[in-house]
Amino acid sequence: MEKFFPEGDEKLILLDRCAAALDVEFFRTALDKLNNRYPELLNIEPPRTSVDVLRTLPHLNRPNDDWFYDFVEALSRDPYNRAVLWYLLPNYEEVLENRIIERRCRRSSANRKQEELIEEELIVTEMRKPSDYAKFRTSLYDDLEEPEGLHLRAYQEELVEPALRGKNTIACAPTGSGKTEVAIYVAVSHLNEKESKKEPARVAMLVPRTPLVDQQKYRFHKYVRGRYYVEGFHGSGLKGSSRRDSVLACDIVVMTPQILL
């Protein structure tokens, strides 16, 4: 870029050679194809010459010297004017490649800052009520039948006792001993307690495989239909805001861990 501000006759001659090699019409056509348009240059009409273009360029109001690199890029795309670069910037390909990397870094940095601002704006510090998102509910059979009663056996009551006291609990029991019912009992007890205090609540159950989503969802339905809304989600389902609103509409949500990615 310093070649546009020559000091001494030798460098002036170099700029004169660039002006002699520059075809304004072909250059304007190439420049017009760039995303960054320069009306100041496009308005230069014959009989004004390439000298006018070279004189105008350094005075353009563009950030980060973009005018120079856009000028070089336009010349590199135009076989009629590429000879200008032999005088002005012989290593133009390397310079343009480095400039592309620099621009990508700038955009990535700007995007990260924007994402951080968005995240700050979207930070939620209070539980959102499922009832506020009721319009996003899709299941139609919650109210068709009365829920079944859930009665635990003695060994199941022993398993749920720490959880009902608010402690993190791992329930270990043999296959077929009703661990799902234990989890459902704890979940429903939690929702009932919050409801009695008029506090919003939501329960999530994670299952390892997609087929288990519907299976466990229907197990919940047996005991809470008509009272609490249950829905299931897996990684291949809805994404983005549609999934978010559908999850927030749930009192109980059954999902695969992939949802969290």
Task: Enumerate the β-bridge partners of residue 255.
Answer: 206, 233
130-259 topology per CATH? Rossmann fold (3.40.50)
pLDDT at 205: 93
pLDDT under 70: residue ranges of the chain? 1-12, 14-15, 34-39, 41-48, 61-65, 110-123, 139-144, 235-242, 261
pLDDT at 161: 92
> How far is the C-alpha of 214 from the C-alpha of 66, rounded, in Å?
56
pLDDT at 119: 56
Strand 252-255 to 230-233 pairing: parallel
Q: Note the pLDDT tens digit of each residue in 206-244.
A: 998 888 998 999 999 889 988 899 998 886 555 555 678
- Whole-structure pTM over 0.85, yes or no? no
Q: Strand, helix or coil at 255?
A: strand
**What is the domain partition of the chain in residue ranges?**
8-112, 130-259
Answer for the pair 75, 81: CB distance below 8 angstroms, yes or no: yes
pLDDT at 183: 93
Closest CA to 160 of 138, 185, 133, 135: 185
pLDDT at 194: 92
Q: Residue 199: is it exposed, middle or buried by C-beta count within 10 angstroms (0-12/13-18/19+)?
A: exposed
Tokens (6 digits) for 34:
């760039």
Looking at the chain, list the stretches that DSSP marks H as alpha helix, in order from N- to C-terminal side.
Answer: 9-21, 24-32, 39-42, 50-56, 66-77, 83-88, 92-122, 154-164, 179-196, 210-224, 241-248
Q: How far is CA 60 from the centre of its chain?
A: 35
Q: How far is CA 43 from the centre of its chain?
A: 40
> How far is the C-alpha of 51 from the C-alpha of 24, rounded, in Å?
9
